[in-house]
Amino acid sequence: MKKTLFLPMLCALAFAGCSSVYVKTDYSESMDFSPFKTYAWLHAVQPKTGDARLDNDLTDARIRAALNQTLPDKGLVFDEDNPDVLVAYFVDVTRRIGGNTMAFGMGYGQRGRRYSAIGYDTAIYDYEEGALTIDIIDAQTQKTIWRGSGYRNTYSGSNPEKATEIINSSVARILKKFPPK
């Protein structure tokens, strides 16, 4: 491979990793999830956080639509009157500091001699990390039986289709681990 293509490909791979969703889950190990067939929303209206970035009707509608689309694939059907489980979600944005160090080398020959230099470049930057947490709550006991959280760099663009795509993808990745096996 040509050396001139190596650095751009390395950067593309590094930035591709930044846009993925990191998922963590927790659940009650003693819980049998097979009897749960119906769900309803814990909050008919999403509670306000006081953060204008998070208290957004458009984001709320996108998250609820993504959950309503994904939960039936997990064996849960919406039933507001007689739910087995309640579904809640929470969003948060945290400012983070990151950094990357890249080593590079150069070499060339002249009259039989080879010269080389190695350098390091460190970039420090701040970014916002968004978190989406989805809780599945036993409707009878009101106890959380499953929690999934997804973390990724926030999207600050003005493209509604891209925002919907990110939310749909994040919900699908989080719920991929539900129900636990």
3-state per-residue secondary structure call for 71-107: HHHHCCEECCCCCCEEEEEEEEEEEEEEEEEEEEEEE
- Element (DSSP H or E) covering residue 159: none
Q: By percentage, how much of the chain surpasses pLDDT 90?
A: 49
Residue 142 φ/ψ, nearest 5 degrees = 60, 25
Confidence of residue 8 (pLDDT cuts 50, 70, 90): very low
Q: Which CATH number covers residue 140?
A: 3.30.160.670
Task: Specify the pTM.
Answer: 0.74
What separation in angstroms does the CA of 177 have from each of 2, 91, 147, 173, 180?
Answer: 41, 19, 10, 8, 6
Whether residue 7 lies inside any domain: the answer is no
**What does the pLDDT read at residue 2?**
45
Residue-wise pLDDT tens digits, 60-84: 999 999 999 999 999 999 999 999 9
Number of domains making up the chain: 1
Q: Is residue 126 part of a domain?
A: no
Q: Say if residue 42's pLDDT is above 90.
A: yes
Rounded to the nearest integer, the mean pLDDT of the chain is 81
- Whether 121 is in a domain gets the answer no
9-13, 136-140, 158-162: which has the minimum mean pLDDT?
9-13
Domain with 35 in it: 22-98+131-175
Q: Is residue 109 part of a domain?
A: no
Looking at residue 9, what is its pLDDT?
32
Residue 103 or residue 60, greater confidence: 60
**Which pLDDT does position 11 carry in this prediction?**
33
Please report the pLDDT score of residue 104 as a whole number.
64
Q: Are strands 144-153 and 113-138 parallel, antiparallel or unpaired?
A: antiparallel
> Is residue 122 assigned to a domain?
no
Asked if the structure places residue 115 within a domain, the reply is no
**Does 29 fall in a domain?**
yes
